[in-house]
Structure 1
């Protein structure tokens, strides 16, 4: 499907929403330099260094930036600089045929969920919920060191299956010194949480829930199938928004079809004094449905970050807090 990345390969970079190469320039340059240190050649998109207030360009301009990279046969991987809020406005203008004719590793998280799921829905080619250039590779050690290690394991060598997803020993969601490091971030001892016991195997699908609100029910959203494993994550939301978003998925029938749920760590979550976690709100929406659930998985906005293969089968053992990748994407 995809060849393992090697030194000298070209990684294309684009800005689907926030103009991170301008508003987070120091962090963007740091992330870019880390990728270059791994031996990659970086091809910056045509909107690099440009900004239209809250975005990098109009919907058509942003789509064209990505389309040029999709059409470039020398580009092996495409990464966003960062997410934002408006990637869904690009969906009508993307060149899905180019991605299908010349597949490449397409990755990102947060608002980029719209592009990932739309590409998968239109082509059936797996995509990856994972690191971005500025927001992820621009993070500071020791957290980014784990992220880089996972990246090399998943994309720079032939992965031996089944692959057991590792649990990093530490994590952080500190927002202090986001651009320039002047003090150490908090290191939390890491652990995943078994919310409901059980095991399941199925196609992994999902991403950022808030982003899903912007295009669910359209032709750009994949059909949720019986037995799917749902990957759900979000950032900086209050509990009332978390309830709204979980209820949206329930109303669309997601929970009637899911065989298991993986909840990413929720960066900067605000429980509004309730003491309730996002998984408490989820359990309420499930109304007694007994499906395996693992929470606080390191596949979201917190650091370190481990990429997840959307569109491929995974095995979830919630009882033992294990996630296994069981389907190849590298040839």
Structure 2
């Protein structure tokens, strides 16, 4: 099997929804239903994991139950793509119980973001099969158009590209923190601006996800080794400057920022500068003492809407001067 080859999705495909952490389908059933209605209206089928609508305090189930839900969808021949309902805080608890051996021989696209970073990294580490930092089912598709439309198109484009895929960044974005248990009637339209922090071009393997979550799995058997020339992408949400520094310091001590050949910084919704008076990307750039490799910031791989999809483990070309990112085979 060519593990760098995209696993295609097409109209009529069944999306299996699993809940690796927060029990959003229980706490916000109207939003979950809205997302499902939208996805079905676009010609896809939806299959609920066994924890859909379930809750065990702040999570959807025990680590074993959450892994069992994922494994059941993985083994289900009807399911074409596995997508997280949402992230949370404790996806890492289910990592020891995933059926990596079966997945390596029978891969399906696994999609999610935020805390789902832990699962995406674990699958890629254990199998070598690319995973996809992209839409969470509820929080991407219970949104309003055009944001949900852009997110779905990005997912399909990235899964289905043959030789190259060049990202087109949206004209507007929203940084709303949504109360999912309430009706959503409008979203912000903030003019979008991608920012070059350090110019240059680089080609390398994409690796990354939510910065906070990367820090939580660093040094475990589920975190892939950073290679010379990798392009690292990171993002956070509602994070304090001190928390960002804590994780950056850990990665810096481990030599990550001496190994990578480029850096992509996603938007950070409601960054708490904690008296530094800096934006999220300014804080990172200054902490790293102004890296001499290409750095692109304010990219739309984040908790803001729309959420574009970045693959973990696939080669990309980053041109920070031209403000472009291109996936290549």
State the TM-score, normalizing by the size of structure 2.
0.94
Q: 1:46 to 1:178 in 2, by over 3 A?
A: closer
Partner of 2:13: 9
Matches of 2:71 and 2:131, distance apart in 1: 16
- In the TM superposition, 1:46-65 aligns within 5 A as 46-65=50-69
Partner of 2:249: 247
Residues 1:44 and 2:52 aligned together: no
Matches of 1:278 and 1:268, distance apart in 2: 9
Matches of 2:139 and 2:311, distance apart in 1: 19
Matches of 2:178 and 2:48, distance apart in 1: 28
- Secondary structure of the corresponding residue to residue 78 of structure 1: strand
Partner of 1:89: 93
Matches of 1:145 and 1:237, distance apart in 2: 27
Partner of 1:145: 149
Residues 1:207 and 2:193 aligned together: no
Q: Say if 1:177 and 1:183, in contact at 8 Å, map to a contact too.
A: no
Q: Say if 2:235 and 2:268, in contact at 8 Å, map to a contact too.
A: yes
- Following TM superposition, by how much is the alpha carbon of 1:281 offset from its aligned partner in structure 2, in angstroms? 2.2
Partner of 1:262: 264
Q: Return 5+ residue gaps in structure 1 as ranges.
A: none
Q: Return 5+ residue gaps in structure 2 as ranges.
A: none
Matches of 2:259 and 2:154, distance apart in 1: 30
CA RMSD of aligned residues (A): 1.6
Residues 1:198 and 2:200 aligned together: yes
How many pairs does the alignment contain? 325
- Following TM superposition, by how much is the alpha carbon of 1:177 offset from its aligned partner in structure 2, in angstroms? 5.3
Matches of 1:179 and 1:81, distance apart in 2: 14
- In the TM superposition, 1:218-257 aligns within 5 A as 218-257=220-259
- Following TM superposition, by how much is the alpha carbon of 1:176 offset from its aligned partner in structure 2, in angstroms? 4.6
Q: 1:297 to 1:143 in 2, by over 3 A?
A: same
Partner of 2:129: 125
Cα distance per residue 1:35-83 (max 9 Å; x no partner): 1112222111111111001000111111111011112233210001100
Runs of 4+ in 1 over 3 A off after TM superposition: 176-183
State the TM-score, normalizing by the size of structure 1.
0.94
Cα distance per residue 1:111-158 (max 9 Å; x no partner): 000000000000000000000111111111232222223233333xx4
Matches of 1:47 and 1:255, distance apart in 2: 39
Partner of 1:79: 83
280-289 vs 168-177, which deviates more?
280-289
Cα distance per residue 1:239-282 (max 9 Å; x no partner): 12111121121112110101000001111212134320222222
Residues 1:27 and 2:41 aligned together: no
- Following TM superposition, by how much is the alpha carbon of 1:179 offset from its aligned partner in structure 2, in angstroms? 4.3
Cα distance per residue 1:296-319 (max 9 Å; x no partner): 100111001110011010000011
Q: Say if 2:157 and 2:165, in contact at 8 Å, map to a contact too.
A: no
Matches of 1:267 and 1:236, distance apart in 2: 6
